Structure 1
């Protein structure tokens, strides 16, 4: 692992543009194929399980567990790389687990592993075992491939990392487009569609593993140097122990960091008279050597800053609750909207796969990012309007709120249409669904709003994880960011369990439930978080004149 004390950081390796181009290209191709497989599974898993006899509650829960494990296991994937095997071998292990998981999914889709009853779900333990295997593989790759790719190009100049991460994000969305678009069509319209889809994605993952392994001679590979997670735990242990051992009236001592911060604040505000800066130490300060601990001030201050970052990530939980509706609630809603479209010159209708609607999210992202980076942000900079990371996160929360409201309104009118007798009966994979006569295309606004939220809150959160974290803890911050997504997914699972079967019912009783109430509840949760976050941001703006200029968190 690359750390502050790694000699390579002090004496950069000789720059080889050809080696860097090959290494970076192989990493990006691997990323594209891996994201293709992951998003293809996430987008089609709900329908795959539903057609196997799973209830909406069971299918949505399985999707959320897969996504939650994929995100939450990123911390374990980072620890595996940092403390045991290094990033290269962690990625090899992750891709190998991927291939095993999709091979088992293909066997399950063929009916060999277990019988998929059209009435009752079967092989539940085997299904969850496979999904957990795939989720751990995804988390391991997600935790290490950004940093590993950056290591291959970082010595190419000041803008090399920026270019790499731009390409990184585009490859993520390209893989998603291919996986959701092509493989959703294969799964819906071909004989043994899910078998072909899962076998195809498994082949893509095997190709990714082979290509990534062949690039070993071109990679810059760093040996593991011990995980910073252990240091963080030691600091927390010393802080708790030191705090508990202090007498009730503990002495008040001054923190050099606070003294410097307050001095700069006074100078920026025009104050010349000295002000007492003595403050009682925080509980983490007791891990410092000066307070009886065993850690240097800088290490403890880094952990303090990591705690602030964690609080910000926690405020994004409602955003993730809405974001994950793309694979769960929105698809449940889409199954009960009219998917058939007349084909000119043909006597039959074309049935649009419900998973295709998520393509609008991806296309909107790919179109909006160049617009924001190439036109909107530069124009605002020219007129002196600075869009900070926190402002972008708040804007994303606003779009997330609108997406949940849009889905709730659509579901409300869909239920009304059905109850007034304007409904259709549609067959998907030989399974009959009751649906209103409202077109599936009315879901496009909510998908585009989720895409807008991702461009602002998702991208800004990712940038914040890299930029605001102390350099020695950037990997941990990225793991925390991914893990918080997993927490949001698991919270969604809990929420669905609490609301079923009152609001979210079986497909045959869909219109007797209240999926619209579920969407409005999500909107309410996101709305409260948005108001609190925006209020805090406004209050902070009043105080920012007292802060150090250029603070990344402003």
Structure 2
């Protein structure tokens, strides 16, 4: 094998493939490139594609639930977190299958096939032409879509969770014992592939989702948003299998988690079997397993249980952290995503986290931690994790403050026993409108509209309209819970009025705009806006609302029997509803007036950046430190046990979201944010107390002492084992 360091100067003049081919030819048994096993490049590409597939699908998932399956925010959030929890429960199953039965390679291949099928099923489930459709494009029967979606998500959870504990470990298996430096760098490259895949996918799949596709109606293109991740997962599987002949495949050696569980179970069973006082007490309850299991396994299990005990409060952090993909994404749908040259989709805001991670990790390691050490502050790993939990709570306080500002901009819609009425004056004279018996009156200028006024339906009898010398009284026969627009116009023959039912009871979804037209011309016209045809409008009539993408200006064409006139619409922002009045059509130019029915989103998505920043800071000092701490405190052969325990805290955290959100019954979203923050602050205090009483250990030193004892026991079998002080004090 060629050593790249010995021919560094010559390597500068050769291409990357030439170097790799040279090394591959020089060692037929172990093909390598730059000193690395060539097989790991297939593993890294496999991981990049798989992470792209998973995070790309997950980025648009909660919006798929809400806008395609038509579930409400709470149910969409519940199903989302159920899916994430399942993704972090199945790694235990994957580890058991790999270590006890199939081995890592066969487990990865088998579950990747399941994974690919699941992604394909999700893509098929989102095809809106599977069933008959209503006029708005929504399926008449959603059962087929729900059944396929749930099947796909279960298969994805089995696949992504099952291979999670196998891929990185399989990559590590490809290195020889003397390649510690290359193995360490491999894990850095592996981590980079994970972040690159997640970052690119959370940028790309929301763009794909925002495209228009469909046969029955032009809907958002979820089949494409799910189909591309499905294709990437298929590529991931193919790439991984191409490298099959180069892999070093370690045969399953039995799962250490099973041994640990058996040891704990036997200790508990044996302890309760000998409850009488005639049996002497033992140093630790696990020592009751000494009749069957070695002292080494018992001691190692004690070390692991100490760390797992500290894991108990940790799920609360993940309960907040994973709401970036659910509640925070839904929050972004009510905000303004106009960043000038680009329009940010609500689900694209999730990219802020991986971007900040790439920036913050080196900054914290190279700047923040050294400064803390210079200040003589003993910033232990458990203290770092406590700070991370506190920061996550602050992030939710920031989210609550943003939500309060959003709530101020949301329109108030009528309750069941109320009606809301607005006036639009289509005439050239001022119009005075009086509501009876409230004796509430308002003056409306020509070609202007008012805001909505709310009335108790049972108490509203009539409306009197006065304009110029004309006067007219109208009966009000409105149903409760609705909005109405009263158009008035003073003409030579009297006052012309018309009641319009405004069947809009919520803000437009995903930052779209609702637009309708009123024909204020004396003849019938045909109106089109962009690709939408509003049809023919007789004088003083109104069209239905049409849905348009926010933040753009469209061409409006008004066609009459005599001429066509055009105008370019105003840029109407995001999430609003408007009535456009056609007042004039002359010289091929249409004169338009705008009346705002629902105000657009005015709180900018940039206000979410502080909460993402605080949460990312918390993640850096919590997640990275937590894994480092866990590994430093665990025996060398039980890292997988702690990895499974760590992933389990993520699963439990998502289950907590389901419990708290379901039990709280809070009607205000900001209040739910505050509740989660308060719960995390309380858990943070508990964790800080647990951390204060924790004693750090050196597992290598303890294992060395155990090795020494085993050597002494082999030399003299009659020598009784002596308890090592460091072990007995754990």
| Interval containing the TM-score (normalised by the shorter chain) | 0.7 to 0.9
2:652 aligned with 1:490: no
Distance 1:538 1:243, change over 3 A: closer
2:232 aligned with 1:204: yes
Counterpart of 1:318 in 2: which secondary structure? Answer: helix
Q: CA–CA distance in 2 between the matches of 1:112 and 1:493? A: 32
Aligned position for 2:333: 335
Q: CA–CA distance in 2 between the matches of 1:42 and 1:87? A: 25
Superposed, which structure 2 residues align to 1:355-434 within 5 Å?
355-378=347-370, 387-418=379-410, 425-428=507-510
- Cα deviation per residue 1:78-101 (whole Å; 9 max; x = unaligned)? 001001100111111221112101
In terms of mean alpha carbon deviation, does 404-413 or 18-27 score higher? 18-27
Q: CA–CA distance in 2 between the matches of 1:327 and 1:380? A: 32
Aligned position for 2:304: 306
CA contact (8 A) 1:154 1:160 kept: no
Counterpart of 1:220 in 2: which secondary structure? Answer: coil
Tell me which structure has the larger Cα radius of gyration.
2
2:222 aligned with 1:222: no
2:109 aligned with 1:92: yes
Distance 1:486 1:109, change over 3 A: same
Distance 1:164 1:391, change over 3 A: farther
Aligned position for 2:285: 283
- Cα deviation per residue 1:441-493 (whole Å; 9 max; x = unaligned)? 21111112221122111112222343322222211221221122111112212
Q: CA–CA distance in 1 between the matches of 2:236 and 2:278? A: 58
Counterpart of 2:335 in 1: which secondary structure? Answer: coil
Aligned position for 1:32: 48
Q: CA–CA distance in 1 between the matches of 2:643 and 2:129? A: 39
TM-score between both structures, scaled by the size of structure 2: 0.62
Q: CA–CA distance in 1 between the matches of 2:295 and 2:256? A: 16
Aligned position for 1:275: none
Which of these residues, 345, 352, 377, is aligned with residue 353 of structure 1?
Answer: 345
Which consecutive unaligned segments of at least 5 residues does structure 2 have?
1-28, 215-220, 413-450, 453-504, 513-546, 549-574, 577-597, 703-725
What is the Cα deviation at residue 159 of structure 1?
3.2
- Cα deviation per residue 1:199-258 (whole Å; 9 max; x = unaligned)? 1111111111111111112222100122223322321231122111214325446xxxxx
Aligned residues: 490
Distance 1:549 1:247, change over 3 A: closer
Counterpart of 1:226 in 2: which secondary structure? Answer: coil
2:640 aligned with 1:475: yes
- Cα deviation per residue 1:332-359 (whole Å; 9 max; x = unaligned)? 211122334566xxxxxx6421111111
What is the Cα deviation at residue 153 of structure 1?
3.4
2:98 aligned with 1:81: yes
2:119 aligned with 1:109: no
- Cα deviation per residue 1:83-138 (whole Å; 9 max; x = unaligned)? 11001111112211121011111111223656684688534333222111101111
What is the Cα deviation at residue 178 of structure 1?
0.8
In terms of mean alpha carbon deviation, does 430-439 or 470-479 score higher? 430-439
Distance 1:391 1:62, change over 3 A: same
2:695 aligned with 1:535: no
Counterpart of 1:111 in 2: which secondary structure? Answer: coil
What is the Cα deviation at residue 399 of structure 1?
1.6
What is the Cα deviation at residue 547 of structure 1?
12
- Cα deviation per residue 1:247-291 (whole Å; 9 max; x = unaligned)? 4325446xxxxxxxxxxxxxxxxxxxxxxxxxx4332211112xx
CA contact (8 A) 2:90 2:157 kept: yes
CA contact (8 A) 1:54 1:121 kept: no
Q: CA–CA distance in 2 between the matches of 1:45 and 1:544? A: 42
Aligned position for 2:9: none
2:71 aligned with 1:54: yes
2:150 aligned with 1:128: yes
Aligned position for 2:294: 296
Q: CA–CA distance in 2 between the matches of 1:548 and 1:135? A: 36
Q: CA–CA distance in 2 between the matches of 1:520 and 1:154? A: 51
Aligned position for 2:88: 71
Distance 1:156 1:214, change over 3 A: farther
Aligned position for 1:150: 172
- Cα deviation per residue 1:371-396 (whole Å; 9 max; x = unaligned)? 22334445556776564322321221
CA contact (8 A) 1:15 1:155 kept: no
- Cα deviation per residue 1:16-50 (whole Å; 9 max; x = unaligned)? 64383422222121111111111111110011111
Q: CA–CA distance in 1 between the matches of 2:311 and 2:81? A: 19
Distance 1:212 1:252, change over 3 A: same
Which of these residues, 313, 316, 335, is aligned with residue 315 of structure 1?
Answer: 313
Q: CA–CA distance in 2 between the matches of 1:161 and 1:399? A: 33
Which of these residues, 59, 65, 72, is aligned with residue 43 of structure 1?
Answer: 59
Quick one: higher RCO (CA 8 Å, sep 6+), 1 or 2? 1
Distance 1:516 1:119, change over 3 A: farther
TM-score between both structures, scaled by the size of structure 1: 0.81
Q: CA–CA distance in 2 between the matches of 1:548 and 1:156? A: 20
What is the Cα deviation at residue 155 of structure 1?
3.3
What is the Cα deviation at residue 549 of structure 1?
9.7
Aligned position for 2:706: none
What is the Cα deviation at residue 404 of structure 1?
1.1
Q: CA–CA distance in 2 between the matches of 1:299 and 1:115? A: 62
Q: CA–CA distance in 2 between the matches of 1:549 and 1:88? A: 34
Distance 1:548 1:154, change over 3 A: closer
Which of these residues, 671, 674, 677, is aligned with residue 520 of structure 1?
Answer: 674
Q: CA–CA distance in 2 between the matches of 1:225 and 1:546? A: 26
Counterpart of 2:71 in 1: which secondary structure? Answer: coil
Aligned position for 2:163: 141
Distance 1:131 1:371, change over 3 A: same
Which of these residues, 172, 184, 188, is aligned with residue 166 of structure 1?
Answer: 188
Which consecutive unaligned segments of at least 5 residues does structure 1 have?
1-13, 254-279, 344-349, 504-512
CA contact (8 A) 1:39 1:180 kept: yes
CA contact (8 A) 1:56 1:332 kept: yes
Distance 1:336 1:239, change over 3 A: same
What is the Cα deviation at residue 416 of structure 1?
2.8
What is the Cα deviation at residue 150 of structure 1?
1.8
Counterpart of 2:654 in 1: which secondary structure? Answer: helix
Instruction: Report which of the two has the higher share of helix.
Output: 1
CA contact (8 A) 1:32 1:171 kept: yes
2:635 aligned with 1:466: no
Superposed, which structure 2 residues align to 1:442-457 within 5 Å?
442-457=607-622
